[in-house]
Amino acid sequence: MKFKPTVDQVNYLNIGLMLVAAVCAFFRPFETFLFAYAFFGPAHYLTEISWLHDRNYFTKGKFDWIWLLLAGVIITLANFQLVPNLPDSAGTVIIFVSFIAALVFVTVSNTVLRIVLIVASAVGSKFLVDFGGFQSIFGVFMPTLIHVFIFTGLFILVGALKGRSLSGILSLVFFILVAISFFYLPISNGQYIPTNYVMDSYGHLKNNGSFTDGFISLNYHIMSVFNLHDFGKPTVNFQQFVDGFNSFLFQNPLSLSIMAFIGFAYLYHYLNWFSKTSVIQWHNIPRARFIGIIVLWLLSEGLYAIDYAVGLQWLFFLSFTHVLLEFPLNQLTFINIGKEIGAIFTGKKAGNTKAVKAN
């Protein structure tokens, strides 16, 4: 007889995994992120896309997912500069329209109304691109921290609400407290020094003012959006700005706390997915597909081992597209949270809706 853990057991397991991810991120923030992204990331993309595909991506239309896939293709081509004369804001607009389209895909069946709403979102985006918050939310944070942290938290919340589970609520509270703790337990200067390999793999600001391939721009946007540091922009020359930025990123306690939070968010995001195999049942797939996933994962690991930057380029499409393909599930999660909260206040059971997993 196969052992199948209860929901409470899975929730308590996840509290333990949060603690493991937090300890790793606190002591080795950059390494935790880089390892999680390279080792768990490819397996997560492949297994989640497979799982979503078997559930028609939680959309009403049979082929709705193709539009999200095409969005991923365009963003990938743009990233490798294979689409000429594309505006800088194109990627952000595509993500925004895809997010709105996902809401349409899970709530609207009428074809004409679908087209009208999606076109309206595209037109509306033209009036939003000039707002800094629009670029930050959809261009920077949606495919990164919103995906791995906010949506993961919402999946935990909806699971707790649907199951009226104390262990689920405890796991959500612990999830939030761990995230906050990184900013109250700062990493002291000199206590942690990343290696050259880590700095090269994560990315840095080049002397010409552009970012290398990697994740460096995420940290820069976090610090800029929340006015955490201006790097001496009003007073220093350009070279001093570059040197100051790189030094701050890899040595300053505040910057390291931000990195620890990022590392925790990504590592737990992946651990959460794989810990809930018995609940999600992503492993119940045809043998040939499972072998294909293993082969692609091994190939990805080999490329990361040879050169981290090559691994990033190889997996850019898969990484970005899995975010887009999850949008319908994200929208459905918002809907289900509203239904469950409404049911709690009215004392009625929420109506049956397509199952939402904890990511």
pLDDT digits (tens, 9 = 90+) for 253-281: 889 999 999 999 999 999 999 999 888 88
pLDDT classification of 355: cutoffs 50, 70, 90? very low
pLDDT value for 58: 97
Q: Average pLDDT, stretch 292-321?
A: 96
Average pLDDT in the chain: 90
pLDDT value for 357: 46
**Per-residue pLDDT tens for 49-71?**
999 999 999 999 999 999 999 99
**Burial (CB count <10 Å: 0-12, 13-18, 19+), residue 241:** middle
CB 161 within 8 A of CB 340: yes
C-alpha distances out from residue 212 to 201, 204, 216, 236, 336, Å: 9, 6, 8, 22, 40
What residue type is 4 in one-letter code? K
**Per-residue pLDDT tens for 108-150?**
999 999 999 999 999 999 999 988 789 999 999 999 999 999 9
DSSP 251-272: H-HHHHHHHHHHHHHHHHHHHH
CB 259 within 8 A of CB 267: no
Please tell me which residue, 84 or 24, carries the higher pLDDT value. Answer: 24
- Percentage of the chain beyond pLDDT 70 is 93
**Per-residue pLDDT tens for 196-253?**
999 999 998 887 777 777 898 898 888 888 877 665 555 566 777 777 788 888 888 8
At residue 116, the 3 state secondary structure works out as helix
pLDDT value for 92: 95
pLDDT value for 54: 96
What pTM value is reported for the model? Answer: 0.92
Q: Average pLDDT, stretch 26-41?
A: 97
pLDDT value for 358: 41
User: Which of 167-176, 237-246, 331-340 shows the lowest mean pLDDT across its residues?
Assistant: 237-246
